[in-house]
A and B are shown apart, each in its own frame.
Chain A
Amino acid sequence: MSFDDAYHSLTDHDDDARWAYGTGFADPLAGVPTALPEGVDRADLAAYCLMLGDDALVMSHRLQQWITRAPEIEDELAVANIGLDLLGQARLLLTRAGEAEGAGRGEDELAYLRDPGDFRNVWLAERADADFGQLVARLLVFSTWRLALLDRLATSGDPVLAAIAAKGVKEVSYHREYAAGWVVRLGDGTDLSHARMQAAIDAVWPLTGELFAPHPTELRLAEQGVAVDPSELRDEFDGVLTEVLRVATLGRPTVPAGPAPGRGRDGVHGDELTEILDEMQGLARATPGGAW
């Protein structure tokens, strides 16, 4: 029996340029010095990396839950891309947190073996989405805020944080564009979608206050040029949201945006984070000593 050998028949088509296959994958941290910046408190830096890393990890988890549920297959790909980007950011940030902590914990120990009270993510990241409108509302708020943050963090005194942020800026710019596009389409779509999109924006709005309330750790590190004071992000955030909501023919919520009900930066969370961690950590914890 004559046969097509798998690899042989694939290499028949060695003109990859014509087919547009991917090449040139790069390590975002290649050549970046990993020594901790001088004069920076290790515990502060570790806590800060956990804040940003947990935001990405928990938000990514919510996006993963949309796989096989998205309204169209093209959107499965988009949501998966965004989830993958954020998962990548989380892995780099948790790894950096472990390095700063200096206790030998890596990304997996930090992701899988901490209890809810040790997670530092904002409440916005853990909120479940009842429909696609809620997902894109949350994603618009999250990525507008995170983009403003990463943009400033790209000049951090910690070269690793700076490199992670610089990579993240490109990714999150796309996330924001994707979310804004959908908020506009749903806001200015049908009567039904308009009502649902408005309800989604109204629902997410009370969670925005927490995003701009600085934690003492953030303020100490911002003082040293390592972190970003989130209260400085408010103007940019308001400008973008105002414009997107205007184009989307949506009203700006009247719900007061603060004071923040969420205190995720202090490890205070709702039941939703517990549910997320039960799902995320269950298998890893049930298989002690397992190699994956």
Chain B
Amino acid sequence: MTGEIKHEWPLFEVFVRAKRGLNHVHVGSLRAADHEMALHHARDLYTRRNEGVSIWVVRSEDVVASGPDDKDAFFAPSGDKAYRHPTYYSIPDSVPHI
């Protein structure tokens, strides 16, 4: 019978920038004892096929997230601001390059 594991490694979230010009994208998580190890592991786990030019790792417990219950308070107020979207503005087809 295995006893309680006292020294479990913490969880890290991994973000990979696939190529220059793109955002880092969340790709998953992994376990590591420290940040350096997490970066190494992220490289081995999430970029085995040349997938990235840059990696971020963040301790999962350090991520502060909005909850699904906050959905309306957080995201509904922008739902009526159609003027933020380019299609809101009608411009004649004859005007080029816009």
Contacts and interface: CB of A to CB of B under 8 A. Distances in A.
Interface of A: 16-25, 72, 74, 77-78, 81, 174, 177-178, 181, 185
Residue among B41, B44, B47, B48 with the highest chain A CB neighbour number at 10 A: B44
B30 A74 contact: yes
A67 to B, nearest CB: 13
A72 B19 contact: no
B32 A20 contact: no
B40 A17 contact: no
A36 B27 CA distance: 46
B36 A20 contact: no
Nearest to B38: A74
Contacts of B30: 74
Contacts of A178: 40
Contacts of A16: 18
Nearest to B7: A190
B49 A21 contact: yes
Given A22-B50, A181-B40, A185-B33, A77 B45 contact: yes
A77 B44 contact: yes
Given A20-B18, A20-B52, A74 B44 contact: yes
A135 to B, nearest CB: 16
B51 A20 contact: yes
Contact of A78 (B9, B16, B19, B41): B41
Contacts of A25: 49-50
B31 interface: yes
A18 B32 contact: no
A21 B18 CA distance: 8
A72 B25 contact: no
A17 B37 CA distance: 25
Q: How large is the interface on B (under 10, 10 to 19, 20 to 34, 35 or more residues)?
A: 20 to 34
A18 B25 CA distance: 7
B56 interface: no
B95 interface: no
Contacts of A185: 33, 37
B18 A18 contact: yes
14 contacts: A17-B18, A20-B17, A20-B18, A20-B46, A20-B47, A20-B51, A21-B18, A22-B49, A24-B50, A74-B44, A74-B45, A77-B44, A78-B40, A178-B40
B1 interface: no
B5 to A, nearest CB: 12
Contacts of B50: 22-25
Given A72-B9, A81-B48, A20 B40 contact: no
B47 A77 contact: no
B22 interface: yes
Nearest to A24: B50
B24 to A, nearest CB: 9
A17 B17 CA distance: 9
B41 A77 contact: yes
Contacts of A24: 50
Contacts of B40: 78, 177-178, 181
A81 B44 contact: yes
Contact of B36 (A18, A78, A174, A181): A181
Nearest to B24: A20
A156 B16 CA distance: 36
B31 A72 contact: yes
A74 B33 contact: no
Contacts of A174: 43
A242 to B, nearest CB: 21
Nearest to B16: A20
A21 B25 CA distance: 12
